[in-house]
Structure 1
Amino acid sequence: MPFPTLPEPITRALSERGYADPTPVQSAVLEGEATGRDLLVSAQTGSGKTVAYGLAFAGTLLDGQDRLPPAGAPLCLVIAPTRELALQVHRELAWLYGAAGGRIVSCVGGMDPRREQRALAEGAHIVVGTPGRLRDHLERRNLVTDAMRVAVLDEADEMLDLGFRDDLEFILSQVPPERRTLLFSATLPKAIATLAERYQRDALRIAVKGQDRGHADIAYRAIRVVPREIEHVVLNVLRAAEAPTAIVFCNTRNAVRHLQAGLTERGFSVVALSGELGQGERNAALQALRDGRARVCVATDVAARGIDLPTVSLVIHADLPHDAEVLQHRSGRTGRAGRKGTSVLLVPNARRRRAEQMLAIARVNPEWSGPPSADEIRRRDAERVLDDPLLTEPPAEEDLALARIIGENRTHEELAAALARVYRTRLPAPEEVSDPGEGRATRDARRPPYDPQSPENPVASGPAAWFRLNLGRRDNADPRRLLPMLTRRGGIGRQDIGAIRIFERETKFEIRGEAAAAFAAAFARNGSPEIQVEAISGAPAAGPKGLKSPRGAKHARAADRKPHRPARAG
């Protein structure tokens, strides 16, 4: 038996849920020496510890019976630091104890306390809650603790970090002293050891061996980025991965709002999670992710713990985590329960040293690279289209009838082109981004830096030329998008570009000196034919976003950017 010594209804629930073998932390709490004892367990997030402590106290609650007694005064209390984690624990214990007749009640901030009061009055076997709300129910005598046999502190280190020490001590003082106390924590700092000494008796210390295992199912990537292009790089990483569900982490609420708006505008189905949202809004966002109505969640670290979404296969750190522990907790939203996942850090050059130090502390060796390019994403789209449901799902009879009519009037190539157009319109357009690492070093080696005073500088000699680009304001054209594309596809440096004037349907821009001679040919050769440039004669009249000179262009571009910048939390 993969799960020995467990009551039959618990074993049946595990089997129905598809649990074939226990995780290391689950095996550890089922060992004979752990039976009936207080436990002090350190295990990483995503290791299955919610089910682990559900299994650990199964024998204590069922006491040799196949079903729990009628619900009355609670037998078990589980304390969690956040609403999201408490509600997740509620869901996990509900299926685990469903066959045993278990009734689970949650008590969390942001929910209707009167409804919780009624649920407690109707009786419960297990109560799951956050410290503040549990203390409130205890003080109001809504929560009766006389029959409690087990108290569980989940993510105890996080609760202490959030300042819940007084609430925890009050709650534990109200629970019968002969109870079992199970303390689970990702880390075991001195404060946790002190808490364990005070409230546990002869606790068995369990440290799950191979703590590196938390990285085994997560592939780490570090991507070099230009700070002003972070939002565009996030978009390209999402498009390149095409993950069923992805979480993008920012350090501030303002950054979350900005990035959510930007991704939504570009066609992604996005929800946000941050501390300013009410519980109803958080629940709605999480439900949208679970049922597939949203595929991207932009969040602050309030979402780094307690969210269990099985389909999350990609985590993006748009802002660098504050430390290695936050990195691990964020990344732990993916690669859970044996599934594979990817954690991507976006690293500006100025913060690379800090990123490398944090990764070393976390014992992570990432793959470093530049950001996915627009051309790379288009190539992946061409490969993925053959697996799209448009082509793989069996056609209905009315589809076939319409297809015959269309086929009589269009060639195969025209039909394929129409299908490609339909496929592309369903996807957010990739962005042109630059790599501030090896790519720039190679380019700089080819071309000396621009010096307008140097007669030897090829950029400074020769007349400037004007070009027209078939992208305008209706295509969301702006300098921060255009500059990387023009330099990469045209094989020039940013110093070679002069004035830029953006109109409704087109953009006109100036290329200085000898760089103009080969620019158009290089541009056509290095990218998609859908985006085209052509030379024009004479300087155009200034448009609504006219940039009249190289100096004016510099200042106007700076004013127009307003990019996403990784904000530092105070």
Structure 2
Amino acid sequence: MTDFSGVVPALARALANRGYETLTPVQQSMLDPALARSDALVSAQTGSGKTVAFGLAMAPTLLDEAERFGPAAAPLAMVIAPTRELALQVRRELEWLYAETSAVIASCVGGMDIRSERRALERGAHIVVGTPGRICDHIRREALDLSALKVVVLDEADEMLDLGFREDLEFILESAPDDRRTLMFSATVPAAIARLAKQYQRDAVRIATQSETRQHGDIEYRALLVSPSDREHAIFNVLRYYEAPMAIVFCSTRAAVNHLTARFNNRNVSVVALSGELSQNERNHALQSLRDGRARVCIATDVAARGIDLPGLDLVIHADLPTNPETLLHRSGRTGRAGRKGICTLIVPANQRRKAERLLESARVTATWANAPSADEVQRRDDERLLADPVFAEDVREEEEALVRTLVESHGADRLAAAFVRLYCDRHSAPEELTEVPLDARGPRVRTGEAGSAPRRDYGSSAWFSLSVGRRQNAEPRWLIPMLCRVGNLSKAEIGAIRMQANETFVEIAASHADAFLSALGRNRTLERGITVRSLDGAPDLSRRADTRFPGGRSGGRFAGDRSETAHSYGERSTATRKRRDFYEASAGPASAAPKKHRARSEDGKASSKPFRKKEKPASPKGSENLT
């Protein structure tokens, strides 16, 4: 039998029966004799065997050199986990680990029958595993007696704080005896975890087993660049390319989970969904179908990112980019567990490449950038799998000889091979055609110094122009740029920065095209609907507010042809209003393309291209009093 030095003998036999040959670093660190009676704050990456680690760590305290537990009464140990799935998983792990000690293990998790849990606690238990909310309920109802508690374990402590369980944890720890051992296990140790440890642990030993320089060494990260419209097709091609026996696809919302589940069911992929809207029974069935092999792909929200252990999970796909590095690591940690190799792919739309790069850099993860597998690449992998199929290595059985001979004589080897290929291919849906995205293609960075600024390009030399329209006239680059290209004979590549002010807009144009631009405008230097263009001597000075008067009757930010500063009559204002309306309808295009905030809605609910203007409150008559 394998020698596990420092492990309680009953647990050592359980490890050997389970097939363990060596212990992981976090498990080995918990066997340090100096830690036998001490508190501990342990940080280790997901999939490193933390459940077995704290099971080994608390055994000497619970058994106290005995081989077996006595009759069950008030619990001696409590393990707190953030989610129902993780709590039930911890219970299963502890059941086989403590199988030879006659330990009675009870669970207290939300979504399960609280009356059954109460009866189990009344019968007695040595170890209780549960979620914070349900454990608090049992303590308040006096169904859970903590007076004999010797060890409290907080598994995934950082996740419990993220989920808002701090008050529940504090209530549980304050209800437990002061002389207990407190073991905290966390993937990361942020300031909140450090404060919690300082408050509720005594001289805790700090143990860090994860690499500070490289995360998830057993996981191969691949960032797959795709066209935004090909995102779903790329996910399907990745599943087809790897044909992993078990894979999980992470989405950011429940709606996305339901959508992908329906789409993949239509493609004849055996999938199950896992999200917060499912009942506990439905979630248990989904996980069991994956373990049994009845389903091959799990499409899940981040509710499954913590603690779910699916043996044989080889592939993780991030259909939606995670919001932070911690989520990336915990999602990815579902594969590459306990020494196994795994593949993690991020589906990166081309317009989110920089976000993905920042995410990977923050997580200290190195990924290989590539295109998503094309239809041809998937087909080649199918051919390789077909040729390597173990069925060809088997000899013809005696009972098959007569039929095989008849088939060969009737159809010939070529027809038989073609029929086999067709049967093999019919088991899989055809891969999708994808638009190829150049790996070195990067969109221009957007300068954020000025509102409404356009992508900035380097020209070497450029010329600046001032346009007689600004923010107060609801001007936006989305319709200014097409107008400049159309009237000024420019392309987008020749338009640089756009600096929008209240009543005017500064535009940078490549110097090589500046003269041609002015010539296209004509002698009046106008674009459309009275917008005039003025050449500047250099880059605009944005440190002071511009107060420029334009030719053609424009002053103070009003369009040429609008009412002048001295026009006050209602009729003149109406004329100006119509002209502004006509200008926006001509410039912004159809109502569907105009900015939503500048569109009103008519009584029948249809969008109107008329710009929104706030009604002015009528002034009170002079000398009137406001009576209340």
Q: The TM-score by the shorter chain falls in which range?
A: 0.7 to 0.9
Match of 1:313 in 2: 314
Query: CA separation in 2, counterparts of 1:194 and 1:125?
Result: 30
1:40 aligns with 2:33: no
Query: CA separation in 2, counterparts of 1:302 and 1:155?
Result: 13
The aligned length equals 445
Match of 1:531 in 2: none
Contact 1:2/1:22 (8 A) holds in 2: no
Match of 2:255 in 1: 254
1:413 aligns with 2:414: yes
- Shift in Å, 1:440: 8.2
What per-residue deviation string (whole Å, max 9, x for no partner) do you get for residues 287-340 of structure 1? 000010001000010000011011111000010010111110000000000000
Match of 2:72 in 1: 71
Q: Which has the bigger relative contact order, CA under 8 A and spacing at least 6?
A: 1
Q: Letter of the aligned partner of 1:300 in structure 2? A: T
Query: CA separation in 2, counterparts of 1:373 and 1:209?
Result: 36
Distance 1:269 1:393, change over 3 A: farther
Query: CA separation in 2, counterparts of 1:395 and 1:440?
Result: 54
What per-residue deviation string (whole Å, max 9, x for no partner) do you get for residues 120-175 of structure 1? 22221111000111111111222121211100011111111111111111111221
Contact 2:8/2:56 (8 A) holds in 1: no
What per-residue deviation string (whole Å, max 9, x for no partner) do you get for residues 434-460 of structure 1? 22224989xxxxxxxxx99xxxxxxxx
SS in structure 2 of the partner of residue 99 of structure 1? helix
Q: Letter of the aligned partner of 1:225 in structure 2? A: V
SS in structure 2 of the partner of residue 383 of structure 1? helix
Query: CA separation in 1, counterparts of 2:390 and 2:37?
Result: 53
Gaps of 5+ in 2: 443-484, 487-592, 594-628
Q: Letter of the aligned partner of 1:72 in structure 2? A: A
Query: CA separation in 1, counterparts of 2:143 and 2:284?
Result: 25
Query: CA separation in 1, counterparts of 2:15 and 2:161?
Result: 32
Match of 2:431 in 1: 430
Match of 2:189 in 1: 188
What per-residue deviation string (whole Å, max 9, x for no partner) do you get for residues 511-538 of structure 1? xxxxxxxxxxxxxxxxxxxxxxxxxxxx
Query: CA separation in 2, counterparts of 1:112 and 1:159?
Result: 22
Contact 1:81/1:159 (8 A) holds in 2: yes
Query: CA separation in 2, counterparts of 1:147 and 1:99?
Result: 22
Contact 2:214/2:364 (8 A) holds in 1: no
SS in structure 1 of the partner of residue 192 of structure 2? helix
What per-residue deviation string (whole Å, max 9, x for no partner) do you get for residues 13-58 of structure 1? 1111122222111121111221110111111111111111111101
SS in structure 1 of the partner of residue 100 of structure 2? coil
- Shift in Å, 1:66: 1.0
Query: CA separation in 1, counterparts of 2:396 and 2:432?
Result: 34
Match of 2:177 in 1: 176
SS in structure 2 of the partner of residue 251 of structure 1? coil
Query: CA separation in 2, counterparts of 1:440 and 1:418?
Result: 44
What per-residue deviation string (whole Å, max 9, x for no partner) do you get for residues 207-244 of structure 1? 12524564210000000011111111111001110111
- Aligned counterparts, 1:182-261, within 5 A: 182-208=183-209, 210-212=211-213, 214-261=215-262
Query: CA separation in 2, counterparts of 1:300 and 1:252?
Result: 6
Query: CA separation in 1, counterparts of 2:441 and 2:426?
Result: 32
Query: CA separation in 1, counterparts of 2:215 and 2:150?
Result: 32
Contact 1:43/1:211 (8 A) holds in 2: no
Query: CA separation in 1, counterparts of 2:30 and 2:372?
Result: 43
TM-score of the superposed pair, with normalisation by structure 1: 0.75
What per-residue deviation string (whole Å, max 9, x for no partner) do you get for residues 242-269 of structure 1? 1111010010101111111111110111
Contact 1:77/1:148 (8 A) holds in 2: yes
Query: CA separation in 1, counterparts of 2:235 and 2:246?
Result: 14
Match of 2:343 in 1: 342
Query: CA separation in 1, counterparts of 2:197 and 2:434?
Result: 51
1:302 aligns with 2:303: yes
Rg larger in structure: 2
Contact 1:232/1:433 (8 A) holds in 2: yes
Match of 1:402 in 2: 403
Query: CA separation in 2, counterparts of 1:273 and 1:395?
Result: 44
Match of 2:63 in 1: 62
Q: Letter of the aligned partner of 1:317 in structure 2? A: H
Distance 1:61 1:394, change over 3 A: farther
Query: CA separation in 2, counterparts of 1:334 and 1:212?
Result: 20
What per-residue deviation string (whole Å, max 9, x for no partner) do you get for residues 367-387 of structure 1? 111110111111111111133
- Shift in Å, 1:393: 5.5
- Aligned counterparts, 1:9-158, within 5 A: 9-158=10-159
- Aligned counterparts, 1:265-280, within 5 A: 265-280=266-281
Query: CA separation in 2, counterparts of 1:397 and 1:262?
Result: 44
Distance 1:17 1:214, change over 3 A: farther
Distance 1:109 1:298, change over 3 A: same
Contact 1:54/1:93 (8 A) holds in 2: yes
Gaps of 5+ in 1: 442-450, 453-554, 556-570
Query: CA separation in 1, counterparts of 2:360 and 2:82?
Result: 26
**How large is the Cα RMSD of the aligned pairs?**
2.0
1:166 aligns with 2:167: yes
Query: CA separation in 2, counterparts of 1:181 and 1:436?
Result: 52
- Aligned counterparts, 1:286-301, within 5 A: 286-301=287-302
Match of 2:353 in 1: 352
Query: CA separation in 1, counterparts of 2:397 and 2:258?
Result: 42
TM-score of the superposed pair, with normalisation by structure 2: 0.68
Contact 1:324/1:359 (8 A) holds in 2: yes
- Shift in Å, 1:65: 0.9
Query: CA separation in 1, counterparts of 2:212 and 2:141?
Result: 42
SS in structure 2 of the partner of residue 411 of structure 1? helix
Query: CA separation in 2, counterparts of 1:229 and 1:382?
Result: 24
Identical columns (%)? 60
- Shift in Å, 1:394: 5.9
